[in-house]
A and B are shown apart, each in its own frame.
Chain A
């Protein structure tokens, strides 16, 4: 787009937002590696847009386990840690300090490991159902985070920055690609039935991107706020009000012919009306077969277990309808440390015995269901958490402290190898040592699979071409099928 064409689009609303970008950013950046600006039509900002290059994945599902799942007790098998159980951690001073303070001795993984599937990869009994999928999963065992505090680390996992106020992965993706779903939000965040995660709405924030790219939060328990027509207003009164509003708005528009912002507002009421039908439809699980409901565990008598299972089903239904990014949360912080999430400081085994079954069966059913329906062909699934945990117990406790220096995430679906493991932590699982991967790398890789160059997907804000990956990130091509 040249400056002239640009100015013609720059009048109002979204066009105007891009103004600074074009007048500013491009001038000092090399043309061949400069930002690729999505062509956003102000009157339909979520229209589907082409990626930078052919994508492996059209959609992404992020399953985010809030509170920091212990890699040592789940997916990162450390035989040495079994052997050195009860020994002091070598190479550290006694009672070395981590996030909450002093540490005690090494403690063996609290769940036994078994070889799984064709690959024979060792995975623990913490997640028996997910373990059955081992042959399908692509593990990164050498993840590292920048912060050892939940809020900043969750911020980083969802937005690339430890600070508040930056756009989340889903916002970047919907900014770049728009949506394939006409009557649904482009980006949906599904909070856990127990509440929102540590960094709360930051995880699906649009930051400084226009509000239209913000994640819309709802789950099987709680609908979109203000979605339903108000109680006490009849269908006909609602319709009459809509008609009158449209009439007034169109007369007003006639005084400002061609004003995009005015016509976009008229269109937004129509999209809102369609969403009032389409969102309840997507959330209506009664259309699922009894077998499917049972497979996910949506019939579990425990409301939290069945609640998370229903959220998994909702995720599938959203992806099926073309929603670009779904963020599915497991764990919430409101109840405090480790009670409703994976923050196992004090009594890790006791807490994980409660939390694991909530996640395990429904999440495994979701991955299987996506595969059976052919959705994994072009849907990327990412299972993640904000950091790992220490190979020691905390002093005077039966749990593990925060460890940002080594943890595990896995991917499956579009474009990634199956039954593959990348990188490694040291023999105690304390620090990533082989092929160390950062959250920037993970984001660069996800964007790449979505057909986006993480160095060219940027937005000018306060003097800086902001990217999801800041000034870092390498695409982990080893993971690609």
Chain B
């Protein structure tokens, strides 16, 4: 704690100073700067600019810091905040906050210097302040003249001009075989069919190339390829990440949304809006963007306040970081703890942006079906039918026997993990108790019940145990995890993730008190209605009701049930008490019941998407050093203060208003970043490298554009063309730059081995998805079913903490395109993950491209590839004459769209003759030529 110097002392000193009249004027260099360097510039100097303020550079010092007020008011020493802060006149702002305080003499020197006009000579500063706005990407889009070119295409003009500066030229156009293969691999991520390639090679029409481009862009295969690039940028995955890494069952609709958006060519501003605020424009799937990243589940977050706040801050940080990286190409998250070191993003800007998302939570939201109104009209009639069907089924339910102590032949069915019924004579009560005394696996497992339903008698059949009906729950105890609280037994939600779990092995009880006494005759309960879990099933239990006298009386127990087996009991046991016509009647009633139940569920429960859930945003504060335990001033939601057009929102702006406003701000043509960032991403996926080599960082720490004029031309053209991504794709692939040969030229290699100047088309390995999809395409097994839930490349596992072991056998479900492979965070597909597949931990806008022995082992030895080699062999037998030479020719056409040369033919024929077709196909599926974009 610093001791404030008494004001009288300062005043006294001032008097003393005045007594010695007319001292020499204070000199900045000799008198003032040493004081600033001693006390101030460690925080307000070259390294750190706390509160956006620095005292080592004249212009910055006189301008003031983040407060917007100058700290030095020339001629007014006593009023200058600098003097007030250092002399302790301002209780909230005592400077320096750390380290040695200024002594009275030093304070007086500063004050006199300001009084005398704060003369700060020019050109004496040892540091130069960098104007963070003085950077190419924050300036408006340039409008440069298009250099001439042979093709007349503006892209070629810019590229050829830069080449000419370096004494280079474009390469000649690639041959048609190369072009069609390149087009297919880049636009679709699949090789062309041999017949398509041959037709394209044969056709003489000069418009054939354009026609091919249009056809490829119109194909749904295009969206399936390019959606992947976007999913990489935002680290989309279908699990929660961290240690439990459990599935996000309903994350997949976002993948479908992105694929559709690319295929539909959704204009980019709309694409932004749907992802930030799709809930406001009937596209709730888009808002999955906001919650795409990993997140801790409730049970994984500490119960202490600090842990909860930290976890929430991490969620919000991911939202801001993803918006910054994906749309702005800025590392906004760098300003979480302090002003951005390189870019004009203050810490206050960061928290103002956080305020835009402060009401966004991870969760699920329904995807409204197109026929929603119609469904609502149909619902009442269906409910009536369902009630009748329920009573029909109820009639078959044997009544529990609590009179016989131990019945010799159990009358009632063995227990199932999904759902069990207990029927008893009608009784009026206000309390039901369910007591467990054993579970399926002996005494090891604590019992778990996902839902306990208690029904009032017909005709007014209702679940009177529901919390929403006013019922209350007490339990013997429950597991510490929030997902297993007692209140989840009557929340109306099935499944293990919202289920009561006892805290004692093999036992526990749960009691439900109704809002009022009810006449009841039926209880339904299960361990996991969704059918995933079979452990923890109560096997010995009794259900009791409290009489008016408060005494508990049993109405049903497990004593008259057939013994429970591990796994579903056979049908015959369940229906043992039914015979002949009765059984047939049951079957009919059951069929009707099941159908109606499903219809009702489909009607009333629209599909869901894991997406943003929105609530009233709390006040947002700047957090000192990013620490949620150290809040500072409150901030209103707004966009960046120094970049792009101004956007201010009232502090009480509604939750959705904030997101909508930000989406419009991002798509404002005056905002210099989003169009540049997007066209650069598209360019990068064509040429392997963007015009800006750092796709998520257009700030001062990022790379400079190799062709700034071209980048801005593309951005302008993109905006002028209605922000159409397909139009941009077309522009790029029609250029001579894109169509040139990839053959190396010694003269050019000597000058630009990296091909950054694009004197040829840069050849490169395809990405993991391309490798897998090409394999399936060539083997003939590729399944082009689009959309819906994906397929899992891992063996089934329902452990609380998921363990992802590779799948060991594959079938047709696994032969869909890899974009539909369920994306598990951090766990990679055992065969293709090794090809630099992003792990969805962090944003991956640009995949590394490495070559490893594990890749070789995967392709050469994996069961998946070997099976496909077998299928490819069968295909060759089907599709070609029964001679090795014909088979080799067909295989080359399928894999490489060309004929083998004589030497290749000899080698491959020999391999087939000696080791069979599979051996040969295994080789082709490993060949460099298959894996390269030519």
Contact = CB atoms under 8 A, between A and B. Distances in A.
Whether A and B are associated in the same complex: the answer reads yes
Interface of A: 7-17, 19-20, 23-25, 27-28, 42, 45, 97-101, 147-152, 154-155, 162-166, 195-196, 198-202, 205, 207-212, 214, 216, 224-230, 233-234, 236-237, 240-241, 244-245, 247-249, 251-253, 255-259, 261-262, 264-269, 271-272, 275-276, 333-334, 336, 402, 460-465
A268 B689 contact: no
A99 B243 CA distance: 15
B744 A240 contact: no
Given A237-B919, A244-B911, A258-B749, A224 B857 contact: yes
A333 B801 contact: yes
Contacts of A98: 302-304
B668 interface: no
Contacts of A271: 853, 856
Interface in B143-162: none
A149 B915 contact: no
B874 to A, nearest CB: 16
B826 A201 contact: yes
Given A12-B764, A248-B923, A205 B841 contact: yes
Given A8-B753, A14-B850, A97-B303, A462 B834 contact: no
B826 A259 contact: no
Nearest to A202: B826
A240 B911 contact: yes
Given A14-B849, A24-B693, A202-B841, 19 more contacts: A7-B753, A23-B693, A149-B302, A165-B294, A207-B842, A208-B844, A208-B848, A211-B854, A211-B855, A226-B831, A226-B860, A240-B915, A248-B904, A249-B928, A251-B901, A256-B743, A264-B851, A269-B860, A275-B857
A244 B851 contact: no
A44 B849 CA distance: 14
Interface residues of B, number: 108
Contact of A151 (B243, B753, B919): B243
A205 B916 CA distance: 39
Contacts of B443: none
Contacts of A147: 307, 310
A149 B294 CA distance: 14
B848 A211 contact: yes
24 contacts: A7-B756, A10-B753, A12-B849, A23-B693, A148-B307, A149-B302, A151-B241, A196-B803, A201-B827, A208-B848, A226-B857, A226-B861, A229-B861, A241-B860, A241-B911, A244-B911, A245-B927, A249-B929, A268-B855, A272-B857, A462-B694, A463-B694, A463-B702, A464-B331
Contact of A164 (B294, B762, B763): B294
Nearest to B848: A210
Interface in B801-829: 801, 803-804, 806, 825-828
Interface of B: 235, 241-245, 294, 296, 300-305, 307, 310, 314, 325, 330-331, 334, 342, 480, 688-689, 693-694, 696-697, 699-704, 742-744, 749, 752-756, 762-765, 799-801, 803-804, 806, 825-828, 830-831, 834-837, 839-846, 848-858, 860-863, 866, 901, 903-904, 907-908, 911, 914-916, 919-920, 922-924, 926-929, 931-932
Nearest to A154: B243
A261 B849 contact: yes
A273 B516 CA distance: 75
Contact of A100 (B325, B480, B801, B834): B480
A264 to B, nearest CB: 4
Contacts of A10: 753-754, 756
Contacts of A205: 826, 839, 841
Contact of B743 (A45, A247, A255, A276): A255
Given A199-B242, A226-B862, A245-B927, A268 B852 contact: yes
Among the interface residues A198, A248, A334, which one has the most CB atoms of the partner chain B within 10 A?
Answer: A248
Given A165-B840, A165-B842, A207-B841, A13 B849 contact: yes
Contact of B754 (A11, A25, A333): A11
Contacts of B704: 23
A27 B755 CA distance: 22
A149 B242 contact: yes
A151 B843 CA distance: 19
Contacts of A149: 242-243, 296, 300-302, 307
Nearest to A402: B302
B932 A210 contact: no
A199 B932 contact: no
Nearest to B831: A226
Contacts of A45: 850-852
A19 B703 CA distance: 9
B476 to A, nearest CB: 12
Contacts of B689: 16, 19
Among the interface residues A99, A165, A240, which one has the most CB atoms of the partner chain B within 10 A?
Answer: A165
B851 A261 contact: yes
A275 B919 CA distance: 21
Contacts of B241: 151, 164
B860 A99 contact: no
B692 to A, nearest CB: 9
B204 to A, nearest CB: 26
A83 to B, nearest CB: 27
A25 B331 CA distance: 13
Contacts of A101: 303, 480
B851 A268 contact: yes
B923 A17 contact: no
A17 B850 contact: yes
Give 10 closest A-B pairs by Cβ, nearest first: A165-B841, A151-B243, A463-B697, A165-B842, A463-B331, A151-B242, A210-B850, A164-B841, A10-B754, A23-B703
Contacts of B835: 211
A164 B697 contact: no
A1 to B, nearest CB: 13
Nearest to B300: A149
A195 B849 CA distance: 30
Contacts of A460: 694
Nearest to A335: B799
A247 B703 CA distance: 40
A245 B302 contact: no
